[in-house]
Amino acid sequence: MIMLVRRVFYLALVSFPLVACGTTDVTLQYDPANVRQAAEPAQGSIAIASVTDKRKHDPNWLGAIRGGFGNPLKTLATSKPVKDLVADAYADGLKARGLLAADAPRYGMHIVVNQYDSNQFVRREAHARFAVTLKEKSSGSTVFERDIAADKIDGSLLAIDTGVFADVEDLRRVANQVLQEAVDKTLDDEAFIAKIK
C-alpha cells in the first residue's frame, strides 16, 4: 500500500509541471483614478507619434514564472504587441490629464521601449525602461527628453506560491503597476509639465 501511494505521489509530481506549463494571454490597462490634472493652457495638445519596441523578445512576450533553473513554467503574452499596449497606456494617461489631442496636436510624443518585462523565481518582479521624447510638431524640435525607469518587487522570499503553484494574475498585476508608474513618472514630471504650458 505504501509503495502504491509513493508511486501515485511520484507520478503526480512528475506530471503536474507538464500540465501547468503554457502561455497565458494577459491584458494591461492604465488606471486614471489618481491622476493629477494638467494646467488649462496645455489642454489637448499632445498625440502619441510613435512607440518603438527595442526589447530582444517576441513583440507580445511580457514575462514568465520560472522554475529553479530559470526555465519558463508559465509564460505571459500580451493580447496585442507590447508597444501598442504602452501606446495605449500613455494615451490614456494623457487623456486623463486633458492633454490628449483630438486633432492638430502641438506636440508629438515618441517612446522607445528598451525594457519591459516581468518574471518570478520566488518573488515577483517587473521592470520598465522607456526613452520618452516630446517634439514640437511645427518645428520638429525636441522640447522634452527623459529616460523613464520603474521597478517593482513583490512577495516574500519565503513564499510557497512559486513555480507551478504561482498565479499568472499576480505577476500580471505587478507588470501593470510598473507600466502605470512609468506613465505617471513621465506625465507628472515637473520639467514635462513646464514645457507644455
Q: pLDDT by residue (tens digit) across 60-77?
A: 999 887 776 677 678 889
Nearest to 180 by CA among 15, 12, 31, 24: 31
Q: Is 36 exposed, middle or buried (CB count within 10 Å of its CB: 0-12, 13-18, 19+)?
A: exposed
Question: All 3 cell numbers of residue 197?
Answer: 504650458
Domains and CATH numbers, the chain: 2-27+39-196 (3.40.50.10610)
Residue ranges of the chain with pLDDT lower than 70? 1-21, 37-42, 68-69, 72, 122, 155-166
pTM for the whole structure: 0.82
166 grid coordinates? 504561482
Q: Show the cell assigned to 101.
A: 489631442
